[in-house]
């Protein structure tokens, strides 16, 4: 939530009736002096050379001196083999005047090195091998080639754009550079408007840049967060601005844009039907990335190919440019999308299994006015027979925007209100932002001032900016004492009124500063350790949520914390869910929710969602319904709305609308066991919870640009309906004639042979089960997910072309860490030879009362008369089996067996 009153005023006064981002607030590459400098580096001979005489080889790494031949400056170069077919290249200054920043939070521990071997050394190069991978380091000029199974898959500095601006002593800073700075600080319109004098660089230019090519790649994906398509587009001077990674609070962000928004994840995956290779640019400073995909809408390249008649292989280039820090590049060798994405997860971690309820429906609004409002919203859900699990409170619950306090008039009895909620199995999430109101007597401010917990100006005074409370200062989460203090603020003793059932929303943590340059903190602010904000900017929200996470672990040691963040960086998945921020009630924003969350998912952040209905403005009723139907298939499922919008809780509408939204909510609740199982598997394997089509169908060229469909695990394919008034929709179903897809509402069978035009009434949403899957569902409607814990399962058995299927179900206590002590069940179901079998995958147990109520077999064999269950405790039991839905399904009733027990159910003809 970040309606910025300042910008409302600007927008109102500048363009009375127009909506949308005010681009004058945000830099283009041309307005960023380092982006302009690095983009001006011309391809060609690199001036950087490896000194092969200095080469040192250990079991895991190759180290050498790297020389900038023009400036005569020395660098340290190292290439390391990392477990799981990853290489790491690091370059830092050999004798730096100032230390350069290395991100502290992104990696999930120090990456484990692996053994490499030197294959060959010549006077010009050295080649090394590691598993099926080979690397050739060319010395003069620097160029590094990566081969997988003998094929060239990636080249670093192939275009010679490698740049490492070294720090210089004042007197060494040349005339030439001075001039450059003059140009950089030339007060253009942008600077004039927003007084970005804070943006100067006291230590001098320190940018780094690097190009990476991917021969043969057809598409490149990644670089969240952008409000853009999944496949990255070609950028370049004179054309589209580079993808910018700089966490920013962008009011009314625009779509199809490479502009930076709230999150920054510098990973890309280059993909072709043959292979997938990724690179992770481990840097927390402002970063721009130019992409050149020579076959992607690049008219010039197509014309050249046409004229010359050449059928040269495609090539994708990425050019990374960061304002400071070191070069720390991980090359993820793939070779499949699954491999490359898991390699990234092995470096930056996974989202730990969340509490079960967090996957259910969240109801949010800026703001629920008071305690009665909260109580009555939940009562209305109950009256309308619609499930809801979590009520959210935005900033107005606080006493004057002072976090860790309650408004004494509107929320005088938070403990009673929370008790009311939890009595019906509901939970509460409340907002806590990182800015602190500068008000004397406010304990957080007083403590932070007297103990020095705030971020500083460059002159050492406490930094002050404007945010919701007015004048604010910002906690410095790089200081261990600040983190210790902040953790304690979340304790039940300190935050009176809260309970173990209260979780938290960390918003505005880019950080958002209404009067700061580009609505954020000036780059020359100083953090603990002497780091400039410039160095750590993209990592700041991760440092913030890390502290919150530790606070919640301390507060409730046996409850898995739930935190929602807006700002995020590589590694944020270890602590938080995220959402796509302040979207709008427009069809295009519904559409972009799928590619945005898919991009986050391959960027390591599976727990993603978009505000249902759109945050700004009022959705029409059709849009609202379509939004609920589509959001069922994104991991984070929350409705939210701006304070100026009309109330839109789903019970407020006419019966037909209520019915459709109720159906969507119930569909989500029915699939909670699937979501939960997928999150467990995500924690164990690093596989994303939702996946783009190319993840499971990497050799299908038709899916390269499909981002209006998501795969939920490898089980469900959902297609967003993001146009008004449609009576039919095109759906691409992948996998070929032998891949079966069943419409999950009418159980119609489709083959994976491509495009289908499917009729859609307003009642109809588009989701399909993949033939070959077994999906555990809970089909009894309840008011909240916690009331479903003992409900029985229905297994949906979607048969493939061989009349087989398999699937998993994960169960535990839904909230604690006891699953780490083997207190869980992980069940595998298989169906073959007309027999369903269950077995425990791991030797674990969890004393659940859950049982199997029904089997629904999709695409069943013909002529089944009955079924027989066999289990140890029940012996042999005859079961009813009956066809329905025009014989598209066979329903086997009441197996009645406990989910803890091994069993078989055999069909009889």
Binding site residues, ligand NAG, CB under 6 A:
236, 239, 292, 294, 301, 371, 375, 413, 416-417, 420
Closest residue to ligand NAG using C-beta atoms? 236
State the SS3 of 496-515: CCCCCCEEEEECCCCCCCCC
State the SS3 of 767-784: EEEECCEEEEECCCCCCC
* For ligand NAG, the closer CB: 310 or 757: 310
Distance, CA of 715 to CA of 713 (rounded, Å):
5
Q: Strand 889-893 vs strand 143-148: parallel, antiparallel, or unpaired?
A: unpaired
Q: Are 71 and 317 in contact (CB under 8 A)?
A: no
CB atoms within 10 A of CB 758: 17
* For ligand NAG, the closer CB: 375 or 380: 375
Query: Coil, helix or strand for 667?
Result: helix
Query: Measured from the CB of residue 699, what is the shortest distance to ligand NAG in angstroms?
Result: 25
| Residue among 562, 436, 450, 586 nearest 511 (CA) | 436
- For residue 511, say if its preceding peptide bond is cis, omega within 30 degrees of 0: yes
Q: Are 727 and 759 in contact (CB under 8 A)?
A: yes
* For ligand NAG, the closer CB: 195 or 413: 413
Distance, CA of 46 to CA of 69 (rounded, Å):
9
Query: Measured from the CB of residue 621, what is the shortest distance to ligand NAG in angstroms?
Result: 30
* For ligand NAG, the closer CB: 60 or 420: 420
* For ligand NAG, the closer CB: 301 or 799: 301
| Residue among 651, 596, 599, 604 nearest 628 (CA) | 651
Query: Coil, helix or strand for 374?
Result: helix
* For ligand NAG, the closer CB: 298 or 520: 298
- For the chain, give the longest Cα–Cα distance: 92
Beta-sheet strand order (sheet of 73-82) = 48-57, 61-68, 73-82, 86-93, 327-332, 276-281, 267-271, 219-222
Place of tokens 């080649």: 127
| Residue among 589, 455, 413, 578 nearest 507 (CA) | 578
Query: Measured from the CB of residue 614, what is the shortest distance to ligand NAG in angstroms?
Result: 29
- For residue 215, say if its preceding peptide bond is cis, omega within 30 degrees of 0: no
| Residue among 754, 749, 740 nearest 703 (CA) | 754
* For ligand NAG, the closer CB: 256 or 880: 256
In sequence order, which ranges of 165-298 are alpha helices (DSSP H)?
175-185, 189-194
Query: Measured from the CB of residue 37, what is the shortest distance to ligand NAG in angstroms?
Result: 17
Q: Are 536 and 477 in contact (CB under 8 A)?
A: no
* For ligand NAG, the closer CB: 64 or 291: 291
26: which DSSP letter? S
Residue 208 β-bridge partners: 164, 322
Query: Measured from the CB of residue 180, what is the shortest distance to ligand NAG in angstroms?
Result: 22
Marked catalytic residue, from 211, 228, 339, 507? 507
Active site residue 476: no
Region of residue 61 (left: phi > 0; alpha: psi -120 to 50; beta: else): beta
Marked catalytic residue, from 92, 339, 394, 582? 582
Residue 754 β-bridge partners: 733
Structure-block tokens of residue 394: 């935005």
- Per-residue CA distances from 578 to 239, 311, 823 (Å): 31, 43, 28
- Return the beta strands (E) in 517-648 as ranges: 563-565, 568-569, 577-579, 608-609, 638-639
* For ligand NAG, the closer CB: 397 or 636: 397
In sequence order, which ranges of 708-820 are alpha helices (DSSP H)?
none
Query: Measured from the CB of residue 490, what is the shortest distance to ligand NAG in angstroms?
Result: 22
* For ligand NAG, the closer CB: 301 or 608: 301
* For ligand NAG, the closer CB: 240 or 621: 240
* For ligand NAG, the closer CB: 43 or 861: 43
What torsion do the CA atoms of 418, 420, 426, 427 make, to the nearest 10 degrees?
A: 0
Q: Strand 577-579 vs strand 563-565: parallel, antiparallel, or unpaired?
A: parallel
Query: Coil, helix or strand for 727?
Result: coil
CA contacts within 13 A on the Cβ side of 14: 14
User: Alpha-carbon torsion 861, 862, 868, 869, what sign?
Assistant: positive
Query: Measured from the CB of residue 217, what is the shortest distance to ligand NAG in angstroms?
Result: 12
State the SS3 of 242-265: CEEECCCCCCCCCCCCCCCCCEEC
Query: Measured from the CB of residue 879, what is the shortest distance to ligand NAG in angstroms?
Result: 44
* For ligand NAG, the closer CB: 371 or 707: 371
Q: Are 743 and 768 in contact (CB under 8 A)?
A: yes
Distance, CA of 61 to CA of 76 (rounded, Å):
13
Place of tokens 């959705």: 619
Active site residue 53: no
Query: Measured from the CB of residue 143, what is the shortest distance to ligand NAG in angstroms?
Result: 16
Distance, CA of 682 to CA of 712 (rounded, Å):
12
Which residues are catalytically annotated?
A: 507, 582
């Amino acid at each position: 939530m970040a309606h910025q009153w300042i910008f409302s005023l600007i927008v109102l006064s500048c363009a009375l009736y127009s909506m949308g981002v005010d681009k004058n607030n945000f830099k283009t590459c041309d307005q960023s002096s380092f982006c302009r400098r690095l983009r001006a580096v011309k391809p060609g001979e690199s001036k950087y050379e490896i000194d092969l005489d200095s080469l040192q080889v250990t079991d895991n790494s190759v180290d050498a001196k790297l020389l900038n031949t023009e400036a005569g400056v020395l660098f340290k170069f190292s290439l390391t083999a990392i477990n799981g077919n990853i290489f790491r290249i690091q370059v830092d200054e050999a004798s730096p005047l100032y230390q350069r920043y290395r991100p502290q939070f992104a990696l999930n521990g120090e990456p484990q090195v692996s053994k490499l071997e030197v294959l060959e050394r010549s006077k010009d190069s050295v080649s090394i091998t590691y598993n099926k991978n080979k690397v050739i380091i060319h010395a003069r000029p620097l160029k590094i080639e990566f081969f997988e199974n003998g094929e060239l898959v990636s080249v670093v500095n192939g275009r010679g754009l490698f740049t490492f601006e070294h720090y210089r002593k004042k007197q060494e800073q040349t005339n030439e550079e001075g001039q450059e700075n003059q140009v950089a600080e030339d007060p253009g319109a942008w600077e004039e408007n927003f007084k970005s004098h804070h943006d100067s660089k006291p230590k001098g230019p320190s940018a780094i840049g690097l190009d990476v090519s991917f021969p043969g790649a057809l598409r490149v994906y990644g670089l969240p967060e952008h409000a853009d398509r999944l496949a990255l587009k070609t950028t370049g001077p004179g054309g589209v601005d580079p993808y910018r990674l700089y966490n920013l609070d962008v009011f009314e962000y625009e779509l199809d844009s490479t502009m930076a928004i709230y999150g920054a994840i510098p990973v890309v995956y280059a993909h072709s039907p043959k292979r997938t290779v990724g690179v992770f640019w481990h840097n927390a400073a402002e970063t721009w990335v130019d992409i050149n995909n020579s076959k992607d809408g690049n008219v010039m390249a197509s014309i050249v190919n046409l004229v010359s008649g050449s059928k040269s292989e495609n090539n994708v280039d990425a050019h990374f440019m960061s304002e400071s820090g070191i070069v720390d590049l991980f090359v993820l060798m793939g070779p499949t999308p699954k491999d490359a994405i898991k390699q990234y997860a092995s470096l930056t971690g996974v989202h730990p299994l969340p509490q079960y309820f967090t996957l259910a429906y969240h109801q949010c609004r800026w703001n629920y006015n008071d305690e009665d409002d909260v109580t009555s919203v939940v009562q209305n859900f109950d009256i309308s027979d619609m499930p809801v699990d979590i009520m959210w409170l935005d900033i107005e619950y606080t006493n004057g925007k002072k976090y860790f306090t309650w408004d004494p008039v509107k929320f005088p009895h938070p403990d009673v209100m929370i008790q009311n909620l939890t009595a019906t199995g509901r939970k509460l999430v409340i907002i806590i932002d990182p800015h602190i109101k500068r008000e004397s007597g406010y304990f957080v401010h007083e403590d932070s001032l007297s103990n020095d917990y705030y971020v500083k100006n460059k002159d050492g005074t406490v930094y002050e900016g404007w945010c919701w409370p007015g004048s604010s200062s910002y906690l410095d989460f790089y200081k261990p004492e600040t983190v210790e203090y902040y953790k304690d603020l979340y304790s039940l003793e300190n935050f009176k009124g809260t309970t173990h059932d209260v979780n938290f929303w960390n918003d505005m943590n880019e950080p958002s500063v209404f009067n700061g340059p580009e609505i954020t903190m000036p780059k020359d602010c100083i953090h603990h350790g002497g780091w400039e904000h410039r160095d750590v900017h993209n990592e700041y929200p991760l440092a913030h949520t890390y502290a919150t996470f530790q606070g919640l672990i301390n507060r409730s040691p046996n409850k898995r914390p739930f935190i929602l963040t807006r700002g995020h960086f590589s590694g944020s998945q270890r602590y938080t869910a995220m959402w796509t921020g302040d979207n709008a009630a427009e069809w295009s924003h519904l559409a972009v929710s799928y590619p945005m969350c898919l991009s986050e998912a391959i960027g390591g952040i599976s727990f993603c969602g978009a505000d249902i209905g759109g945050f700004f403005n009022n959705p029409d009723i059709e849009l609202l319904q379509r939004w609920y139907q589509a959001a069922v298939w994104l991991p984070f499922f929350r409705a939210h709305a701006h304070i100026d919008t009309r109330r839109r809780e789903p019970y407020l509408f006419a019966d037909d609308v209520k019915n459709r939204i109720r159906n969507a909510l119930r569909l989500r609740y029915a699939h909670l066991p699937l979501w939960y199982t997928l999150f467990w598997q995500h924690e164990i394997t690093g596989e994303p919870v939702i996946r783009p089509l190319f993840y499971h169908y990497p050799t299908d060229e038709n899916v390269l640009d499909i981002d209006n469909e998501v795969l939920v695990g490898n089980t469900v394919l959902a297609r967003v309906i993001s146009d008004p008034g449609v009576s039919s929709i095109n759906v691409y179903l992948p996998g070929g004639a032998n891949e079966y897809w069943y419409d999950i509402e009418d159980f119609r069978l489709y083959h994976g042979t491509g495009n289908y035009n499917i009729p859609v009434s307003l009642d109809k949403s588009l989701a399909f089960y993949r033939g070959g899957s077994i999906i555990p569902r809970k089909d009894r409607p309840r008011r909240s997910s916690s009331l479903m814990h003992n409900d029985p399962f229905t297994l949906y058995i979607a048969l493939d072309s061989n009349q087989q299927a398999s699937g998993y179900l994960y169960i535990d206590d839904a909230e604690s860490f006891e699953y780490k002590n083997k207190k869980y069940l992980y069940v595998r179901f298989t169906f073959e030879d007309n027999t369903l079998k269950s077995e425990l995958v791991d030797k674990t147990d969890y004393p659940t009362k859950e049982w199997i109520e029904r089997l629904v077999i999709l695409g069943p064999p013909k002529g089944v008369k009955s079924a027989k269950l066999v289990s140890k405790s029940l012996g042999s039991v005859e079961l009813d089996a009956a066809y329905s839905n025009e014989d598209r399904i066979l329903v086997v009733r009441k197996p009645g067996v406990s989910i803890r027990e091994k069993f078989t159910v055999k069909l009889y003809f």
